[in-house]
Amino acid sequence: MKYTTLGKSGLKVSRLCLGTMNFGPTTDEKEAFRIMDAALDAGINFFDTANVYGGPGNRGVTEEIIGRWFAQGGGRRERVVLATKVYQSMEEPNNPNDERGLSAYKIRRHLEDSLRRLRTDHIELYQMHHVDRNVTWDELYGAFETAILQGKIGYVGASNFAARDLVKAQYEAQKRGFLGLVSEQHKYSLLCRLPELEVLPAAQEYGIGVIAWSPLDGGVLAGNFNPPQGSRSANHMDKIEKLRPQLERFSKLCRELGESEAVVALAWTLAHPAMTAPIIGPRTVEQLNSALRVVELELTEDVLREIDEIFPGPGGSAPEAYAW
């Protein structure tokens, strides 16, 4: 496994991030334990979750599964860089402060609940799951700074922030003498390249490590044109049919390289200098093992150019992508 520092922090994380959203809804606890053990054995130390994972009516279940895995001991907790998130409703009845959004009140309460479910006394990376422009940065950073001083979190990250939000966050942090954001978790894949216009350049300039979510676009880029019923890819058949010429050309390139479509698509995300790690969401140990090859694959400039022809991006960063 290869490692890099997370943004401008000194924290070292693996170049693959283990996503846990499937744990509970589609992957049972026994298999989830096997996946986490195998990931740790393979050198993946970066685990991502969220308080809402588990789905409607079962929010928090994924964190509970991870907590029971930690409770087995064996150095599991000590070796993991743990990331979770706050923003969504946890379905608390008759509580207007539980609605989607951020506040010092919610951050404090939801952090305590995540710590309890995860059976730990600290979280390395606490992420805002979505931007909330209705709340001041004084309120947000005040809550995060308190949690850091209490030893409950190590760093603050973001997810689904626009470039202007990242710049604002770092500006406000600098005024307070605070480190600010060390990461931004953003949707990025061969089928979603708009972040190249503003988000990735801003993150790179301001020392924010980018973590790509949905780097296979829900399985569309995994190379299975006839997915089984019930799989994530099966939910995107209309999209697969629409993109079939591009996807078939991509599959042909991957065959020539002797690599799977998923491995090439994930390796492509790592070719961007702003990228820290793509999130992989294996449902089985076999899927995890097949993804480990990603960090060893370095795509040549010729291959990257051909991929650009198949899946054109916006043409670079703004404003040069659309102006002079």
The catalytic site residues sit at 53
Give one DSSP letter per residue of 132-199, joined into a string: -TTS-HHHHHHHHHHHHHTTSEEEEEEES--HHHHHHHHHHHHHHT---EEEEEEE-BTTB-GGGTTH
The whole-angstrom separation of Cα 156 and Cα 137 is 13
The whole-angstrom separation of Cα 288 and Cα 281 is 8
Tokens 């999130």, residue? Answer: 279
CB atoms within 10 A of CB 252: 11
Assign residue 214 a region: left if phi > 0, alpha if psi is -120 to 50, beta otherwise?
A: left
What token pair was written down for 298? 């370095």
The helix (H) or strand (E) run that includes residue 166 is helix 163-176
Torsion of CA 278, 122, 42, 208, to 10 degrees: 30
**Inter-residue contact 190 to 216 (CB < 8 Å):** no
The whole-angstrom separation of Cα 108 and Cα 118 is 16
Helix, strand, coil shares of the chain, percent, nearest 5, are 45, 15, 40
The whole-angstrom separation of Cα 19 and Cα 25 is 13
Cis peptide bond N-terminal to 319, omega within 30: yes
The whole-angstrom separation of Cα 292 and Cα 278 is 12
Considering only CA atoms, give the Rg of the chain: 19
